Amino acid sequence: MAIVFKNITATKGYQYLIFKIAVFMLLAFFADFLFGGIFHYYYFKQSSGWEYRTRYSIEETRAEVLIFGASRAQQQYNPDYFEKKLGLTSYNVGRDGEPVFYYFSLLNGILKRYTPKIIILDVENNVFKESQDSYDRLSILLPYYSTHPEMRAVIELKSPLEKLKLQSRLYPFNSMLFKIAIGNTEYNKRRFEDIKGYVPLNRALDEGIRIVDFSKISYPIDTNKVNCYRSFIKDCIEANVKLYLVCSPYFSRTIGEDTSMAIAKKVAAENKIDFLDYSKDEIFLSNSKLFDDTIHVNSTGSAIFSNRLADTLLFKSKNAGH
């Protein structure tokens, strides 16, 4: 009969390895829980900067007029003019470089808290263009995933593994350490002017006007972006919010129309929503000094544009139903 000997040393080695893995996982879980909690606390404690403005937009503002969009919203619509003309409190929730995913998510968070009277959505050329960067930028909204279920469907578009990654408390704050630190100081308040979310530009453009031929420009359309735009309109209608879709001034004369802009106008017409197009307004096309660059008006141009748009909204509100 053969005698079977157990390799006690090997068995103990495996047990020790399993023990080390268990200890490592326990420490990793504890570190994730601890540091994730610390970052969460200081993220939501910020009092200045872009992350603060996002949090204020989602969780605090109760302004009666809200302005949505990317940099062309943030830097071209001055809330002071809407307050003076319409007699309604106003705030600009726009954020530089952000796609339709961002401002649709903001709308979801805001409508969960309260119902504004008027929403202005700035619509720009290329708004529906396919771009991986648009999905990468959803990282800005990761801190809200656990507390804002109404935003999760859009946030999960970031990647197929996003739902799994967001089991971590630390993951939402990756690459935000510096921003969070600065946001808890007074530095941002000194660095740039912030007028109820509006950030003015002060350079005066000195160049001749350009010609843009959209008939020679083509690009793939992202249906997720188009669907978010449609949902933005639908949610405003269902919440009984007066929505205005606006294309603010550009310093360029155009041949044809941008593909995204044509889609945006078509969807607006289907839903009977006013689309106000200032891209061909001669007041702006004839004066480069009203611009900071070819796609953003400066503070002088913003004053003229905001005043003109506020007058238009006032006229429309007075004549509604007539």
Please write the tens of the pLDDT for every residue from 47-56. 888 899 999 9
Percent helix / strand / coil, the chain, rounded to 5: 55, 10, 35
Listing DSSP states for 92-153 in one string gives E---TT--HHHHHHHHHHHHHH---SEEEEE--TTTTB--HHHHHGGGGGGGGTTT-GGGHH
**Residue 17 confidence (pLDDT):** 66
Model confidence pLDDT, tens digit, residues 136-158: 999 999 999 999 999 999 999 99
8 Å CB contact between 197 and 67: yes
Q: Residue 322 pLDDT > 50, yes or no?
A: no
| Cα–Cα distance, 152 to 48 (Å, whole number) | 25
Token couple for 166: 């967001």
Model pTM? 0.88
Model confidence pLDDT, tens digit, residues 238-249: 999 999 999 999
Higher pLDDT: 87 or 194? It is 87
DSSP assignment, residue 208? P
Taking Cα atoms as reference points, which of 140, 173, 213 lies closest to residue 39?
173
DSSP assignment, residue 198? B
What rounded mean pLDDT belongs to the chain?
90
Q: Confidence band (pLDDT; 50, 70, 90) for 187?
A: low
- Cβ neighbours of 9 (radius 10 Å): 7
* Residue 9: φ, ψ to 5°: -65, -45
Model confidence pLDDT, tens digit, residues 92-108: 999 999 999 999 999 99
Share of the chain above pLDDT 70, in %: 87
**Residue 223 confidence (pLDDT):** 98
DSSP assignment, residue 251? S
8 Å CB contact between 71 and 299: no
| Cα–Cα distance, 261 to 80 (Å, whole number) | 28
